[in-house]
Amino acid sequence: MDTTIFKKLGLGDKEMAVYLALLENGASSVRNLAVLADLNRGTAYDILKKLQELGLVSFFHKNTKQNFVAEDPERILKLLADREQDLKKSEEKIKELIPELKSLQEKGGGKPTTKFYEGRSGVKFILDDVLLAIKNQTDKNYYVYSAAGVREDVYTAYPDFNKKRIKNNIKANTISLSEGGGTYGVDERKWLKTEKDGKGNMTYILIYADKCAFISRDSHNNPVGVIIENKMIYETQRALFLQMWKLI
């Protein structure tokens, strides 16, 4: 049985070993459970206490000895529902704190912040940041310089990106620095003729929500990215992009 999914509920291998042993063998003492789950007695007892707190195990006394028994597996669904409810409550509280946290961030004086990311997971983080930063803005446009090679890195790192972007009515204006590429939803794309020799060495650039992201490849041909957070840099890059857009 694959029990890895239960780790999302805070139930590790040892917890599941004890719970499954109780399900399979019925009421058992701590000593017996320790043997069945291949644990020392102290660890088995601590795990049983945790499982009791989660509502998955109960106990009774028989001949002055404490015996433990597993609750119905349906209780796991209740545990999941309780976790979901707690997460929703936490989400609401965090939403209330976001303005205060942002005000603390703004006290930094608007100094440019540079963040580095590596690999496909780093590229996906950058694209998620685009969605998150623009999602609740009035202006849902952002601007892209798209380059072959790195473009494929972007698509591979986040296959559902355009689908999620369109769902949130986010529009991309793209200038392609090489052949290829398409439009999605209400996007617009133009192509800029560039020297053939340099097409494989160009950077994929995203200009969005007071930020600029640069995605390229390192010396080992692995995708890497940088996000620069600064309104002045953003406005400069946006102005240059829009001017070039008019000229193409």
Query: 164 is written with which tokens?
Result: 């999620």
Q: Is 174 found in the same domain as 52? A: no
Number of structural domains the chain divides into:
2
Are 228 and 211 contacting, i.e. CB atoms less than 8 angstroms apart? yes
d(CA 144, CA 166): 15
Whole-number Å distance between alpha carbons of 207 and 209: 7
Q: What are phi and psi of 141, to 5 degrees?
A: -95, 145
**pLDDT tens sequence across 165-198:** 999 999 999 999 888 777 787 899 999 876 665 5
Beta bridge partners of 208: 211
Determine, yes or no, domain membership for 158: yes
- Contact yes or no for 2/34 (Cβ under 8 A): no
Same-domain check for residues 34 and 124? no
Q: Which two tokens stand for residue 89?
A: 């409550």
Q: The domain spanning residue 41 has which CATH number?
A: 1.10.10.10
Which residues have C-beta within 8 Å of that of residue 101, sequence separation ≥ 6?
none
Pair 215, 109: CB distance under 8 Å: no
Residues 230, 145 share a domain: yes
In a domain, 94, yes or no: no
Residue 36 has pLDDT above 70, yes or no: yes
Report yes or no on 144 lying in a domain.
Answer: yes
CATH code where residue 228 lies? 3.30.870.10
User: For residue 185, what are the domain limits?
Assistant: 111-247
Q: Is residue 87 part of a domain?
A: no
pLDDT tens profile 156-165: 999 999 999 9
Q: Calculate the alpha carbon distances from 35 to 17, 44, 134 in Å.
A: 11, 9, 55
68 and 124 co-located in one domain: no
Q: Is residue 133 part of a domain?
A: yes
One domain for residues 131 and 224 = yes
Domain assignment present for residue 104? The answer is no
Same domain, 162 and 216: yes
In a domain, 195, yes or no: yes
- The residue among 22, 53, 73 that closes a domain is 73
pLDDT single digits (tens) 90-146 = 888 888 887 777 777 666 555 678 899 999 999 999 999 999 999 888 889 999 999
Say yes or no: 185 and 122 in one domain.
yes
The pLDDT assigned to 48 comes to 93
